[in-house]
Amino acid sequence: MNELPFAISLEVGSSLANRTGSWRVERPRYLDRMPPCNDACPAGENVQRWLYLAEEGDYERAWRVLVEDNPMPAIMGRVCYRPCETACNRGQLDEAVGINAVERFLGDLAIERGWRLPEPAPDSGARVLVVGAGPGGLSATYHLRRLGHTVRLVEASSALGGMMRYGIPKYRLPRAALDAEVARITEMGVDVELGTPVRDLAGAMRAGGFDAAVLAVGAQLAHRAYIAAADSARVLDAVSLLRSMEGEEPPALGRRVVVYGGGDTAMDAARTARRLGATDAIVVYRRTREKMPAHDVEVEEAAEEGVVMKWLSTITQMEKGRLVLEKMALDEHGFPQPTGELEVLQADSVVLALGQDADLSLVGGLEDVVVRHGALEVGDDLMTGHPGVFGVGDATSAERTVTTAIGQGKAAARAAHAWLSGVPLERPTRHELATFELLNTWYYDDAPKTMRRRLEPARRTGTFDEVAVGLDESDALFEARRCLSCGNCFECDNCFGVCPDNAVIKLGTGRRYEFDFDYCKGCGICLQECPCGAIVMEPEEI
C-alpha cells in the first residue's frame, strides 16, 4: 500500500527537477551567419543555398536560386577567378570546395535541358537604355526585365557579349556556352540594337524617350607605350589581337612573338599566339611574379603551354625583327628601377598588353557626370551625378572581372528600379561573418577537392578547344557535399540529440529547431556540438 505514493512522489520530483530554466546564466540562440563564400562573391550569389540544393540533387531548383543573382552561370563557371573559393573555410581544413566547378555543372545542365529564365514582372511603364552588351550590360538588362522595365540594349559591335566575346579566347569560353546564355536573356523581350555606337548619351535618351540609362561600355581602348620604334616594327595591341580572333582570318604574328605586359590579357595574348603557330611566345614584364596582376591559373596554364616569362625587363627600343630590353632591379620599396644593362631579343611581332581604358566620350553632353582617371564617378548606388544615369563594370573604377561586372549590373538595375519607383533603395542586413574558428570541424572527414581535368598541354597549342573539362554529375554531387554550411543550420540533429534536458524542439523539415527555456539550463553543449556555428550563447536577462 505504501509503494504507490512513493512512486508518485518520485515521478513528481523528477518532473520538477527537469525544469531547470532558473539555473541559467546564459541562454542559447539559433542564428544565421554570413558564409564567407557568399560574402566574397562579387556577383552577390547565395552560394551556400544553391550548393545545398545541388547537394540534395535538386539541380533545377539550385540553378534557379543561382540565377536570382547571376543569369550566366555557365559563363561564370568558366571565367570567374573564384574569390569564393579563396574565402572558403574548408580551405583551412583540407581544400576549398570547388564552388566554381559546381556552378559550371549547373549552368551547362541548364543549357542542355533548356531551362528558361523567370518571366518578367508586369510592365512598369518605364524605359531604360543599356549601353554595352558585355557582362555588366547583360546583367543589368536581365534584372531590369525581371522587374518589368522595357529595355533597349545597344551594342557597338556586331554581336552581343562584349569582352566575354572579344576579349576572352575560345579555349577559356566556348562560344556555344556564351551564345546560349546571352540568348536566354534577350528572349525575355529585350529590344536589341547591334552595330550602333552611342556617341551622345543625352541625345540618345531624349530621342528614345528613356527614363534611365545604364552605361556598361567596357574598357576597349588599349594603352600605348612610349617606345622608340622603327616604321618597320610589327607592333599591335592585345585588345585588337584578341578581338580579331572573332573574324574569319586569324592574324599572322610570325614564329617568335613577344608580349609586353603582366595581366590576364597578356597571358591570353601569349597563349593565343602559341595557338596561331608561334614557336616562341615570350612575356616581358618589368616587375616580379609576386607583383604580376595576372591570376595564378592563367600564369600556370601559360607556362604549361610553353610561354616563357622574362621578369624584371622592359622594352626600350623596337625595330623589325629586333628588340632591345633593359634589365630592372627592385629598389628598397619594391619598385623596379633601370640598371642600364641591355639585352637584345629577336621577335617577329610585339603585342602590347598594357591595360585598357573605357571610351566615355558619350557622356560629354551631361555636365553633371564626372569622369575621373578614366572612370565614371558613381555613388554607392552606382548612380552618376546625373539622376537616372548609372555606371557599371569597366566604365567605373571597379575591379575589371566578369564577376564584378555581373554583380554591378544587378546592383545598378535594382538601384534604377528604386529610383524609377520613387522609393528608397533597400539594402539587405549583413549578418556576422561565419569564420573558421566558429566551426566544429571534428564532424567532417578529410575529403580532397575534385580537380577539374584539363586538356593535355601538348594538345592545347594546336587547337582552340576548351582547356578545362567540366565535372560529371557524381563529381559535382561529391563537391557540393563538401560544403560545411558555415554559419547556417542544416538540420543535422546534433543539438537535438546531445541536449541533456530535452530542451531542443524539432519543428519539422525546413523549419529547424527552437529551445524550450523551461528546461534549458544553459549548459552550452548544443553550441559545442553544432558543426556549423549556428548557435550563440547570450547572457540571461534578469
Looking at the structure, tell me whether residues 332 and 380 fall in a common domain.
no
- Strands (E) across 7-159 are located at 26-30, 127-131, 150-154
18, pLDDT greater than 70: no
Residue 370 and residue 1: Cα distance in Å, rounded? 95
Looking at the structure, tell me whether residues 245 and 339 fall in a common domain.
yes
> Does some domain include residue 413?
yes
> Does some domain include residue 381?
yes
Looking at the structure, tell me whether residues 215 and 198 fall in a common domain.
yes
The owner of cell 575591379 is 399
Partners of 323 in the beta sheet? Answer: 318, 345
**pTM across the whole model:** 0.91
> Does some domain include residue 438?
no
Q: φ, ψ for residue 146 (rounded to 5)?
A: -60, -30
Looking at the structure, tell me whether residues 248 and 344 fall in a common domain.
yes
Looking at the structure, tell me whether residues 278 and 254 fall in a common domain.
yes
Question: What's the whole-number average pLDDT of the chain?
Answer: 92
Q: What single string gives the DSSP state of each residue in 217-254?
A: ----EE-----EE-TT--EEEHHHHHHHTTSSS-----
Which of 331, 355, 379 is the last residue before a domain boundary? 355
Task: Judge whether 482 and 445 are in contact, CB under 8 Å.
Answer: no
Q: What is the CATH number of the domain that holds 149?
A: 3.50.50.60
Looking at the structure, tell me whether residues 331 and 363 fall in a common domain.
no
> Does some domain include residue 135?
yes
> Does some domain include residue 273?
yes
Can you read off the three cell numbers belonging to residue 62?
539550385
Nearest to 144 by CA among 336, 399, 413, 389: 413
**pLDDT confidence tier of residue 1, bands split at 50, 70 and 90:** very low
> Does some domain include residue 426?
no
Strand bridging mode 280-284 / 308-310: parallel
Nearest to 416 by CA among 225, 25, 149, 152: 149
Residue 267 and residue 430: Cα distance in Å, rounded? 37
**How confident is the model over 442-497, as pLDDT tens digits?**
878 778 888 889 999 989 998 999 999 999 999 999 999 999 999 999 999 999 99
* Ranges 18-22, 34-38, 92-96: which has the least confidence: 18-22
Partners of 327 in the beta sheet? Answer: 313
The owner of cell 543549357 is 111
Looking at the structure, tell me whether residues 408 and 516 fall in a common domain.
no
For CA atoms 205, 208, 213, 215, give the dihedral sign.
negative
Residue 448 and residue 97: Cα distance in Å, rounded? 9
Q: What is the CATH number of the domain that holds 517?
A: 3.30.70.20
Which range has highest mean pLDDT (63-77, 226-240, 353-367)?
63-77
240, pLDDT greater than 50: yes
Looking at the structure, tell me whether residues 240 and 346 fall in a common domain.
yes
Which of 302, 324, 355 is the last residue before a domain boundary? 355
Residue 57 and residue 28: Cα distance in Å, rounded? 33
Looking at the structure, tell me whether residues 234 and 349 fall in a common domain.
yes
Q: Comparing 252 with 153, which gets the higher pLDDT? A: 153
**How confident is the model over 111-130, as pLDDT tens digits?**
999 999 999 999 999 999 99
Which of 300, 326, 355 is the last residue before a domain boundary? 355
> Does some domain include residue 526?
yes
10, pLDDT greater than 70: no
Looking at the structure, tell me whether residues 521 and 399 fall in a common domain.
no
**How confident is the model over 199-220, as pLDDT tens digits?**
999 999 999 999 999 999 988 8
Q: Where in the sequence is the domain holding 530, given as residue range(s)? A: 18-33+489-539
Q: How many domains does the chain have?
A: 4
Residue 535 and residue 306: Cα distance in Å, rounded? 52
Looking at the structure, tell me whether residues 99 and 201 fall in a common domain.
no
> Does some domain include residue 121?
no
391, pLDDT greater than 60: yes
The alpha-helical segments, DSSP class H, found in 422-539 are 457-460, 473-480, 494-498, 525-529
Q: Which residues fall within 8 angstroms of residue 539, CB to CB, at 6 or more apart?
A: 25, 26
Q: What is the CATH number of the domain that holds 41?
A: 1.10.1060.10
Query: pLDDT exceeding 70 applies to what percent of the chain?
Result: 95
Nearest to 273 by CA among 288, 258, 295: 258
**pLDDT confidence tier of residue 222, bands split at 50, 70 and 90:** confident
Looking at the structure, tell me whether residues 413 and 494 fall in a common domain.
no
Nearest to 422 by CA among 388, 389, 392, 390: 388
